[in-house]
Amino acid sequence: MKLIDQSTVPPDAKSRKIKSSHRDRAYGVIRRSILLGHLKRGVRVNERVLAEQLGISRMPVREALLCLHGEGLIRKSKCGLQVTKLTPQETGYQKEFRAIVECAAVRLAGQRITPAEIERLREVIAEQEILETAKDMQAFGESDLLFHQLLLKASRNPFLTRLSGTLGMGLVVGGSEPCKATVEMHAQILDAVAKGDADEAEKQMYKHVIEDSTYSQDTACADEDPE
């Protein structure tokens, strides 16, 4: 059971105001490890091992896991806590929900996004092109997650931003290889948003989430020993 390399957290995440508590740090690292597929779907969550990896006591880890349980990223099972493993039907529901939220976000972003945000998103896409060529799965996953987070932020709607926290289980490729088609789709979405073409932005986002997803339930749901 391995967490993400904390040195690879993207610059945007590093620049955010970071809370000093161990609980918040544990929450952030564990959550990101789940989103990026480092903690696989269905894996048992070992509180002691996580605490040792983070270099903190078990209490803040326990509190972080409770928060993640509330978000649906962690579930209780007969053998204890485990990373939520979606059934094929639940995966379909999740993708439908994500499409509703993200399609609404890009429609609003087309009206509210700033030139600086557009430029930042273009930089992210350029970075993804390099990472796709290098087949750097972890860094590509980080960049993929960042792209969607920045678009949600550009909607200027705090309720959509909060809802995005529950998208968790499918926000990024999480276990699949860096994909050229994903980069191309990101570029098409951004072009539509930058032009203020809400209908085209929504159309491309829907296609990206529902039709062209590179997410693999088989790879992301593989069971793994918690040690």
Per-residue model confidence as pLDDT tens digits over 61-94: 999 999 999 888 899 988 889 998 888 888 888 8
Fold held by 6-85? Arc Repressor Mutant, subunit A (1.10.10)
**Class of the CATH domain delimited by 88-218:** mainly alpha
> Within a 10 A sphere around the Cβ of 42, how many other Cβ atoms?
17
- Residue-wise pLDDT tens digits, 2-40: 665 655 555 444 434 433 488 999 998 998 888 877 888
Q: 81 by DSSP, 3-state: which?
A: strand
Domain ranges across the chain: 6-85, 88-218
Same-fold call for 6-85 versus 88-218: no
Q: What pLDDT does residue 5 have?
A: 60
CA dihedral 59, 65, 66, 71 (to 10 degrees): 160
Length, in residues, of the chain? 227
How much is the pTM? Answer: 0.74
Its sign, for the CA torsion 37, 38, 42, 47, is negative
Between CA 164 and CA 49 the distance in angstroms is: 28
